[in-house]
Structure 1
């Protein structure tokens, strides 16, 4: 990817434009022409950055999600011991709340598939890294050397988290602390063994 200043300016304009347009309606209804007008770029420039408005939205939200998530990861990419899962879950919900209108517009009746997939994949990556760093926390029957099993366990947790977020963000007044408390209460206790005693 080019680091040319013009390229970076165009990327920033396009991502800001898609977030603004997607706050009012589904990203699937946004056209390339609309995005180009809003961002002040050509169609050729648009296609150097994304293959579709939905892909652009996924990239824009993904960039913001990753920036928030990395602050709560340990050096191996797992859940940081400082604040543990509550702090990491809070970061996810704060990200969603910051872009509440976009996420709400993307739910019909569930989150738009590419957006849901990207969110789940990001969560799975962190959870698998956590399990690898703390293999002693794994439930009985799950081998730390079985990559497929780790991905399945993390995928199950990520899908449940995203499903809960879909419900939470559609509430009249989503409360981050209540959301964190309920999502963690619904999560199996083995996830927290490595961080017992942390805040």
Structure 2
């Protein structure tokens, strides 16, 4: 077994690069955990404030289950297309990876557009975040998730450019895997929003 002293410079460089990638992966997991805590607090706030309508509209008055279901389908399909892109990246199929990442970005844009449309419609009805504690908590939770999706879309576009310019090198593939974790995490958070916010709001 080789000791550090007998390793060739190329081996030392490769080992350092591998350790650097592992450090970044660990740091990203820490970030995801802090993000999970933020969303947990937003969920808890919403559950507490759900009764604080101040005589204003409730979820049953405002939410559209078909609209929320369509948003859910867009995000679920985007998670699936990102999975296809990840498999293509593992197989070093650069063009296929770029194609499915762009499909993912388009689905994500559709989701964000539907969310903005919902917010604009609610505000036009006088149901903005300043109307009640319930609506403040709703806009904070759903808006924070939408902001994360928007950042994810921007990151996907940056990733497409990196793959097109640099190819599927080890650092690029590592960034792609972390971005995939982030995107799938947002999908899980949305399932929670659909289950805790929209479904009880419409059926309650």
**Same structural fold, with TM-score higher than 0.5 when normalized by the shorter chain:** no
Q: TM-score, normalized by length of structure 1?
A: 0.30
Task: Name the one with the larger helix percent.
Answer: 2
Larger radius of gyration: 2
- By relative contact order (CA 8 Å, sep 6+), the higher-ranking structure is 2
